[in-house]
Amino acid sequence: MSDARERFDAIIIGVGQAASALANRLAGAGMTVAVIERRAVGGTCVNVGCTPTKSMVASASVARLAARAAEYGVAIPGTPTVDMAAVHERTSAIVAKSRTGLERWLGGLPGVTLIRGHARFESARTVRADDRLIEADKVFINVGGRASAANIEGLDEVPWLSSSDMVALRELPRHLVVIGGSYIGLEFAQMFRRFGAQVTVVERGARLMPREDAEVSDEIRAILEAEGVVFKLDAECIRVRPHPEGVAVITHGGKEETIGSHVLVAAGRVPNTDDLGLDKAGVRTGPHGHIEVDERLATNVPGIWALGDCNGRGAFTHTAYNDYEIVAANLLDGEPRSVNDRIPVYGLYIDPPLGRVGMTEEQALAQGRTVRVGKRPMTRVGRAVEKGERQGSMRIVADARTDEILGAAILGPGGDEAVHMVLAAMAAKMTARQLTHVVAIHPTVSELIPTIAGELGDAVAPPARAG
């Protein structure tokens, strides 16, 4: 192991979504940058997250559409079947092209050195990557996260799959049991049901995705149940054990047992911060391992920043990229940008997808706001009816006193795209009344957003506080 020090102006640990763009900006400002990656360039999104899963969602959507072809007056001889090996090959090719393109671009940036190895702090300014000792005055951590093994009794005694394992499957499970009824779990549940697997989702809570309004959660459940996904809710005390046919998932105090050929544990994620030597740098972490940062992504140690999933300030590719924008703006542009400026927005990529921005009705009421809510089922959206996709709904939440747009949920065809009209309106600080003046293209799903903003219901006051 060498003790010879290599000197750079900046070190970036982990090549997630913030790292490449940040390396480019820093190098463009004349800095020398060491970028350290121990696994695959591109992080979760490119390798085991967004890119492969959405590629597989696309294959599953085609399978579903082929099965419904007769509804559209299209005859397909025989029964459509899914070739999982071919799905895997298509997905892998897309991932490989994205990753190699990023590697080539990053490796060709003047002033940037891509180093392969496991980075660990030896001090606040010194990082060892395997046998190389690297020193810099600025260090940026972008190490992302991984699937949590969760606190499930017996999990160490059975084979189980993470979301990363799911995108590598070449065979179709006979019966996939998904532990966790939230965003990742539901995407895989619908996907593999469409591929032809039997699917059961086990969820500890009384409903799916408690971060959503109850009506939206119920609509999502109805969409998946209509395709044959089985749900077991209120499943406290989940435990697993080996079974001759795979894995037995035991719930409801031992009263129910589901036998799966494969088990996906989608019960949360943890940051990749446990083996970085953060204690040697003096960097503080929270109770769940996230690196503590301020609103500009700086840690408690001057000269060290944390970006992306590892800082607990956002768990999406778009928030990680925005972290880069915030750091670059403050360091290089003299622009005081902050994580407090961004509006929460995300999607659930079942089909049809959910686009969500801002607050739900329940969240707004919990903040003590009096709200007005506009709703419209997709059965009353012409574009959805014409496409044969009538499931879901659209809703906008506004402050009853100020007419401020607080949030929206669009569950239906193109919901992940249409929600951006509301996001843009909120960023521009438009009121619901001002949004009604927008003239949108017909026929689209988005054209109904101004209409819904003009059809807000009666004011709903928050519940009275006890005591």
Nearest alpha-carbon partner for 51 in 92, 82, 84 = 92
Q: Residue 375 forms beta bridges with which residues?
A: 395
Give me the phi and psi of 153, to 5 degrees please: -60, 130
Q: Is 306 exposed, middle or buried (0-12, 13-18, 19+ CB in 10 A)?
A: buried
Residue type, 214: A
**Strand order across the 345-348 sheet:** 345-348, 354-358, 405-411, 393-399, 371-377
First to last CA, the chain: 65
**Strand order across the 5-7 sheet:** 5-7, 132-135, 126-129, 119-121
Token digits of residue 454: 């003009």
Among 243, 288, 318, 442, the active-site one is 442
Residue 420 is a catalytic residue:
no
Nearest alpha-carbon partner for 217 in 54, 366, 409 = 409
Residues 6+ apart with CB under 8 A from 141: 13, 14, 273, 276, 283, 291, 299, 304, 305, 306, 307, 310
Token digits of residue 288: 């769940």
Q: How far is the C-alpha of 226 from the C-alpha of 216, rounded, in Å?
A: 15
Catalytic residue IDs: 442
